Structure 1
Amino acid sequence: MSAATLLKEFRHYKTALLTTYHRDGTTAVDTPVSIVLDGDSLLFRAGRESGTAARVAAHPLVDLRTCTFRGEPTGKPLRGEVRLLEGEKAVRAARMLERRHPMLRRWAMPLSDRLLRYRPLHYELRIVGDDEVESSEGWPD
């Protein structure tokens, strides 16, 4: 199955549950993130000093599933690889997220970013393989 087909269910969701892993690859941490689809990849952002950014830098393989706004999972997880976007690609990702989430990205996030001195990083997630993840609690056996 193609990556675009696997990501198709995310088209109707504005939030996804991103499962990142500590350096050892077994300790999972779930984080709801605002998303936007970009062809066969998915874009999201995280703070430069956030735990999500640190875990992704150390271990770029993650799991992703659809979820509610509060982060309650609603779908089956998919395995993906995350890479940091820089330059024009990061600017494009920021614009796409702003269009998809106008209230959150134009008003709430810029205000909190300034108050907390929060600097965002933008990421691209690409699906790895075409199988669903067998376990979201660390690597499948």
Structure 2
Amino acid sequence: MTPDTIPDELRRGRYVSLTTFRKNGTGVATPVWYAVDGDRLYAWTRTDSWKVKRLRRDPRVVAAVCDVRGNVAEGAERVEGTARLVTGEELRRVRRLLSRKYTWQFWAVDWPATVARLGKRPHTGIVVSFPGS
């Protein structure tokens, strides 16, 4: 998938339903904040989440624009991809992209979590690549 073939609704959406897969193949969809840059989708989640555990075992994902509760509109395009977990400099890039998109809302979530954990940020970045990218 090239930058111009990522669906416009995915570029413009506020939340994405990111489906990850259990050992038995059952999909688990979760709404997350995200940003699209070039031919990749960037998201973040808590490091101790089940989503991270599932992605460590199986990198397959399905992304679809959703509302804050994770409801995907009927007829919304679902895009299959492969995710990888990132930390360090790549996580900083994810954080920059998300802070640009969500501004004060992002900081309202990130800073209290950092303070509560004595400076350690409890998040892991997710970078999703789509077929052909």
TM-score when normalising by structure 1: 0.80
Q: Distance in 2 between matches of 1:101 and 1:47?
A: 17
Q: Distance in 1 between matches of 2:2 and 2:22?
A: 25
Asked whether the equivalents of residues 84 and 121 of structure 1 are also in contact (C-alpha less than 8 Å), the reply is: yes
Q: Distance in 2 between matches of 1:76 and 1:10?
A: 8
Residue 55 in structure 1 maps to residue 58 in structure 2: no
Match of 1:134 in 2: none
Asked whether the equivalents of residues 41 and 129 of structure 2 are also in contact (C-alpha less than 8 Å), the reply is: yes
Stretches (4+) displaced over 3 A: 112-118
Q: Which amino acid aligns with 2:129?
A: R
1:31-64 deviation digits (Å, cap 9, x = unpaired): 0010101100010001111011101111100111
Secondary structure of 1:72 counterpart: coil
Asked whether the equivalents of residues 3 and 126 of structure 1 are also in contact (C-alpha less than 8 Å), the reply is: no
Match of 2:22 in 1: 22
Q: Which amino acid aligns with 2:16?
A: A
How is 1:103-118 mapped onto 2 (pairs within 5 angstroms)? Answer: 103-112=104-113, 114-115=115-116
For residue 96 of structure 1, report the CA deviation from its aligned partner.
1.0
Q: Which amino acid aligns with 1:88?
A: E
Secondary structure of 1:106 counterpart: helix
Asked whether the equivalents of residues 65 and 77 of structure 1 are also in contact (C-alpha less than 8 Å), the reply is: yes
How is 1:5-84 mapped onto 2 (pairs within 5 angstroms)? Answer: 5-24=5-24, 26-74=25-73, 75-84=76-85
- After superposition, the CA RMSD in angstroms is 2.1
Q: Which amino acid aligns with 1:19?
A: T
Q: Distance in 2 between matches of 1:112 and 1:9?
A: 30
Match of 2:101 in 1: 100
For residue 105 of structure 1, report the CA deviation from its aligned partner.
1.2
Q: Distance in 2 between matches of 1:58 and 1:40?
A: 24
